[in-house]
């Protein structure tokens, strides 16, 4: 996964599928447009090809002409479902700079009724998107709704909310510190205490890499073996219902976050807790981004479908053919297992994928981190970050975070877009 030694064209990109600029060019462009290079950009710069398309999406969502006013775009994105002070402060500042009313930031009750009407959809998008139905869409866009959302406005708002929720996962997952002008931005953050058994951890980490390498090779050799559809479904259900504990709950978030959250007690719950009746599974063959979601977004919000598709393609195909201390490694099976595991947590099944691979490639500490980051990002801690892939570089863990972020974004969008499609029909 590592970024070292990768050569990319030194040309600034301006739209989907443009040449990928070098890391230095991207950082200079970011500095010139924003006046600084924020922590989010610096961490993403470990992977220039992804950062390039991410910045284009950010520009399209917040700066280009669109159905929503610019201050509304940032207010919607300041939604604090995951108690992410970093994102709330970034978008609150941008909201004011775009001419937004300062009183809106003191509580959602001060915002227009039309914005407040997004509350239910926003909380479901953030925590349980599989519960989104055609009825939720109808309540916002039908002729009797007051105030009414157009489909173009709604799809813009949905993408902004889902984009922000997934970014919260990345911020928590990478442990980003506050910006200098944020609350706590100049506070001293002591380093994590050193482990007394650090040498043994290095040895154990190296062994884990060798075991993972061996398993990847074995899986690639077994791909030709036939597996019945019944067994494929059984393996999916086994992964979906597996009990994976998440980290401890943090203390209460700061007031600037709490005042922008309604129903803060509404959180993620397992798609189908063991022993309980599950909602209907979304089969990727019935509704997918490639065959359905892309064209709908492209029709309602021109060019945004292309931008999102580029992001999904880049994060899915991103590889440097390296893993820890090994080179010339095909990491496809590992990247695919991460992506499909996150979709599995969200109740999305690929009929042609063997979910036994997930259990083989993703050891338990990695599953704990991935589930925490994708479903309860506010509970992510330094210990959950350091517990997995102990012999991997930070750039490789950031790569894993990008995969989690992209898969989570696509899963949330798919459930909402499916409901919009049903409403249109």
Active centre residues (catalytic): 84
Determine contact, residues 304/311, Cβ cutoff 8 Å: no
Outline where 183-223 has alpha helix (H): 198-222
Residue 388 is given by DSSP the state: S
Q: How far apart are CA 351 and CA 374, in angstroms?
A: 22
Determine contact, residues 68/61, Cβ cutoff 8 Å: no
Q: How far apart are CA 322 and CA 317, in angstroms?
A: 14
Burial letters for 359-376: b for 16+ Cβ neighbours within 10 Å, e otherwise? Answer: bbbbbebbbbbbbbbbbb
3-state secondary structure of 128: coil
H or E stretch including 43? helix 39-44
Spell out the residues 6+ positions from residue 59 whose beta carbon is closer than 8 angstroms to its own: none
Q: How far apart are CA 216 and CA 323, in angstroms?
A: 11
Q: How far, in whole angstroms, is CA 213 from its chain's centroid?
A: 26
Q: How far apart are CA 64 and CA 302, in angstroms?
A: 11
Q: How far apart are CA 181 and CA 164, in angstroms?
A: 20
């Amino acid at each position: 996964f590592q970024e070292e030694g990768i050569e990319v064209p030194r040309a600034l990109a301006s739209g989907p599928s443009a040449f990928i600029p070098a890391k230095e060019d991207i950082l200079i462009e970011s500095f010139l447009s924003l006046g600084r290079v924020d922590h989010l950009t610096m961490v993403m710069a470990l992977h220039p090809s992804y950062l390039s398309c991410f910045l284009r999406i950010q520009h399209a969502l917040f700066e280009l002409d669109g159905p929503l006013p610019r201050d509304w775009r940032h207010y919607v994105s300041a939604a604090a479902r995951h108690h992410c002070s970093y994102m709330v402060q970034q978008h609150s500042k941008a909201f004011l700079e775009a001419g937004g009313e300062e009183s809106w930031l003191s509580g959602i009750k001060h915002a227009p009724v039309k914005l407040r009407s997004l509350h239910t959809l926003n909380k479901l998008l953030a925590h349980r998107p599989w519960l989104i139905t055609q009825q939720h869409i109808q309540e916002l866009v039908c002729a009797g709704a007051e105030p009414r959302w157009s489909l173009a406005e709604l799809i813009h708002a949905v993408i902004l909310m889902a984009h922000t929720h997934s970014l919260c996962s990345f911020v928590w997952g990478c442990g980003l510190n506050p910006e200098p002008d944020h609350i706590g931005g100049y506070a001293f953050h002591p380093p994590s205490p050193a482990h007394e058994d650090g040498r043994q951890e290095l040895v154990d980490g190296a062994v884990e890499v060798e075991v993972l390498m061996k398993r990847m090779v074995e899986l690639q050799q077994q791909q030709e073996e036939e597996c019945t559809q019944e067994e494929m479904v059984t393996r999916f259900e086994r992964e979906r219902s597996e009990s994976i504990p998440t980290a401890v709950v943090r203390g209460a978030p700061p007031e600037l976050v709490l005042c922008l959250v309604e129903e803060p007690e509404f959180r993620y719950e397992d798609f189908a807790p063991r022993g309980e009746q599950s909602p209907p599974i979304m089969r990727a063959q019935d509704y997918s981004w490639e065959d359905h979601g892309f064209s709908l977004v492209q029709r309602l919000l021109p060019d945004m479908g292309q931008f999102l598709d580029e992001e999904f393609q880049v994060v899915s195909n991103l590889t440097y053919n390296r893993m820890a201390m090994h080179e010339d490694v095909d990491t496809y099976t590992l990247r695919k297992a991460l992506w499909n595991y996150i979709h599995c947590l969200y109740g999305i099944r690929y009929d042609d994928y063997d979910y036994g691979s997930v259990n083989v490639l993703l050891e338990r500490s990695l599953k704990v981190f991935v589930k925490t980051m994708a479903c309860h990002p506010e509970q992510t801690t330094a210990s959950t970050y350091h517990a997995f892939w102990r012999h991997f570089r930070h750039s490789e863990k950031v790569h894993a975070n990008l995969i989690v972020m992209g898969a989570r974004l696509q899963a949330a969008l798919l459930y909402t877009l499916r409901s919009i499609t049903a409403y249109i029909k």
